[in-house]
Amino acid sequence: MKKITALLLCLAVFLAAFSGIAAAKKKEAPKDKGTIVFIPHDNRPISDVETADTIRQLGYKVVVPPDELLGSNSNLGDSDKLWQWL
């Protein structure tokens, strides 16, 4: 009885590990869901790069304006040029 229980436990662990590997492979190649134009409020990494990367991981193509058009701690940005870029 102990051998059968041990065998079933090993089988359950193997199946759980295998399903985790299969799920991880599915996440590696997100399908293209479309394109998002993202204009962050400034060029800080958390507002700009990291947010765009998160959107890309969800399977979207992200288009962002050049950093020189965005605001920073010493620059308010250029809203007129942002409109032209858009």
Q: Are residues 12 and 44 in the same domain?
A: no
Distance CA 56, CA 30 (A): 9
Q: Are residues 45 and 59 in the same domain?
A: yes
Domain interval for residue 71: 31-86
Q: Are residues 22 and 60 in the same domain?
A: no
Q: Are residues 54 and 64 in the same domain?
A: yes
Q: Are residues 14 and 36 in the same domain?
A: no
What is the number of domains present in the chain? Answer: 2
The pTM of this model reads 0.57
Q: Are residues 13 and 55 in the same domain?
A: no
Helix, strand, coil percentages in the chain from 3-state DSSP, rounded to 5:
55, 10, 35
Mean pLDDT (whole number) for 57-82: 91
Q: Exposure string (b/e) for 25-42, b if CB count within 10 Å is 16 or more?
A: eeeeeeeeeeeeeeebee
Q: Are residues 25 and 41 in the same domain?
A: no
Tens digits of residue pLDDT in 4-55:
666 566 556 666 666 665 555 556 656 778 999 999 988 888 888 999 999 9
